């Protein structure tokens, strides 16, 4: 970035010098001699070359920024299917909620008792 700014300043100074050169070398008829025209053309060519170099550096900087971006987004959460319960039996979320609701109440409802019965009954 610093190199680009230096080149832009250099180009601006060269342009001001070329304009001043052209203003001083104009004759009374408003024309420039052939030698001075050649000199001005070389100065103008230098200015154009500086502009091309600035464009190259800007494209290079843009390409570097694009290539330095991360390709994929990082995984920040636990991989799972939403709404899918992975645990079963006593480890399931429904069992845990029903268990703690039964512990909090003196007379658990039939729904809670059904949730807490996991596996086969004692009668078979």
CA distance 51 to 30: 28
Q: What is the pLDDT of residues 44-76, one digit of tens each?
A: 999 999 999 999 999 999 999 998 888 887 777
- Can you give the pTM of this predicted structure? 0.54
Strands of 1-124, DSSP E: none
Q: Taking the CA of residue 32 as centre, how many other CA atoms within 13 Å lie in the half-sphere pointing to its CB?
A: 16
For residues 6 and 63, state if they share a domain. yes
Domain hosting 107: range is 88-119
For residues 59 and 113, state if they share a domain. no
Any domain includes 83: no
Any domain includes 77: no
For residues 62 and 92, state if they share a domain. no
Any domain includes 34: yes
Contact 42, 48 (CB under 8 A): no
Residue-level pLDDT at 61: 93
For residues 57 and 103, state if they share a domain. no
CA distance 57 to 4: 7
């Amino acid at each position: 970035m610093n190199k680009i700014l230096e080149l832009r300043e250099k180009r601006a100074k060269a342009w001001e010098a070329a304009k001043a050169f052209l203003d001083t070398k104009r004759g009374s008829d408003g024309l420039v001699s052939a030698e001075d025209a050649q000199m001005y053309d070389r100065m103008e060519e230098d200015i154009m070359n500086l502009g091309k170099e600035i464009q190259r550096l800007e494209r290079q900087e843009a390409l570097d920024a694009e290539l330095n971006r991360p390709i994929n987004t990082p995984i920040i959460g636990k991989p799972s299917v939403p709404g899918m319960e992975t645990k079963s039996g006593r480890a399931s979320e429904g069992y845990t909620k029903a268990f703690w609701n039964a512990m909090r109440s003196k007379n658990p409802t039939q729904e809670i008792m059904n949730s807490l019965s996991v596996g086969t009954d004692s009668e078979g």
